[in-house]
Structure 1
Amino acid sequence: MKKFTLHLKTISIVAFSTFLLAFSDPESIEQYVGNLQKSFTDHYDFSQESTQIKRYELNVTNNGFCRYKRYFNNGKTEYFSFKLSKFKDMDYYGNNISGKLYLYTKGEDVIVQTYKDRGGDVDSMATQVIIPLKNIEAEDLNLIKENFAKICGNQHP
């Protein structure tokens, strides 16, 4: 009888552990963020803006932000930032060679800051960020959208 009880306990523990693992997410937020950063780094198309832009910075951070900064040849700087949990949807306009990725937020959640502009420094809010991309396939775009969706589902507001 003791042997039967021991086997029953062992089976119960294994079954319960399997049940818990079935509903856990093996990937972490850091992995999704890393996937997004890699996609943006691999596919960013500097040539679409190279006549106006001196350099750029595009970062997806582990603390939950997407930051895009462009430094213009005339000295002007544009900075866009939004919290990843505010991501709503995305559209891609172009083809697999070149296009623009529109990242939409739930509301006016994109911080836009402009420095050294003719009209002075300006702080405003927007609903989208536009990122030029190149050499991107539909599967890559789907992966970007899936990573955003997973981050939004896993982060707490």
Structure 2
Amino acid sequence: MKKFTFSLKICAALVLYFVFLSFSTSGPAEEEAGYMQQKLTEHYNAESGPKNIKKYELHITDKGFCRYKRFFSNGKVEYFSCNLMKFKELDYLGNTHSGTLFLRTKGDDVIVQTYNDSRGGDIDSMSTFIAIPLKNLEAEDLIDLSDKFRQMSLKLHQ
């Protein structure tokens, strides 16, 4: 009887292991997310835009979310987030030295949250784009980024 109980415990442990393993797989677009994260971080232009930004966070997740957060020296925080399933197109205004990348969505699909704003307190709104300042971006990099955003959006729709 002890052998049967021991075998049953092992089988149950293996089943639980495989169940947990199946839920821990990476997202549908891990390669695209890694590439986009690396390129946007590499080309981010911290000197562009408002001068009182003390730090920023920019994340592209393999589950299809783009999150961009700016922390200002006066305590104000701006947070932009969207699901790349709603991605429409990329626009770039500028030159190879510096410019702004506009990640556009199909509708008002970008969540914009502002905290500690001296003019209005905490504000929640929606937008159709996220503007990210970039520098030293070649045409090939922009084409690659646009392709990766499209590929990720298509994979998320599957």
Regions of 4+ moved over 2 Å: none
**TM-score when normalising by structure 2:** 0.79
SS at match of 2:121: coil
1-side partners of 2:96 and 2:140: how far apart? 11
Name the aligned partner's letter for residue 121 of structure 1.
D
* Match in the other structure for 2:149: 148
- SS, match of residue 144 in structure 2: helix
- Corresponding residue for 2:132? 131
Aligned residue in 1 for 2:68: 68
Q: CA deviation at 1:135?
A: 0.4
Aligned-partner Cα distance in 1 for 2:136–2:101: 12
**Preserved CA contact (<8 Å) 2:37 2:59:** yes
| Structure 1 residues without counterparts, runs of 5 or longer | 1-27
* Distance in structure 2 (CA, Å) of the matches to 1:98 and 1:64: 26
State the distance in 2 between where 1:82 and 1:110 align.
5
**Equivalent residue, structure 1, for 2:21:** none
2: distance between equivalents of 1:100 and 1:145? 14
C-alpha contact (below 8 Å) 2:29/2:63 kept by paired residues: no
In the superposition, the TM-score normalised over structure 1's length comes to: 0.80
- The CA RMSD over aligned residues, in Å, is 1.2
Matched, 1:115 2:111: no
**Distance verdict in 2 for CA 1:50–1:112, change over 3 Å:** closer
- Map Cα deviations across residues 77-105 of structure 1 (whole Å, 9 max, x no partner): 00000001111011101100000001100
- How far residue 156 of structure 1 moved from its aligned partner, in angstroms, is 2.5
Q: CA shift at 1:50, angstroms?
A: 6.4
SS in 2 for 1:47: coil
Amino acid corresponding to residue 67 of structure 1 in structure 2: R
Q: Does the CA-based 8 Å contact 2:103-2:131 persist in structure 1?
A: yes
Identity across matched positions, percent: 53
Query: In the alignment, which residue of structure 1 is the partner of 2:92?
Result: 92
Distance between the aligned counterparts of 2:51 and 2:81, measured in 1?
A: 23
Checking the alignment, whether the CA contact within 8 Å between 2:111 and 2:124 is kept in structure 1 is yes
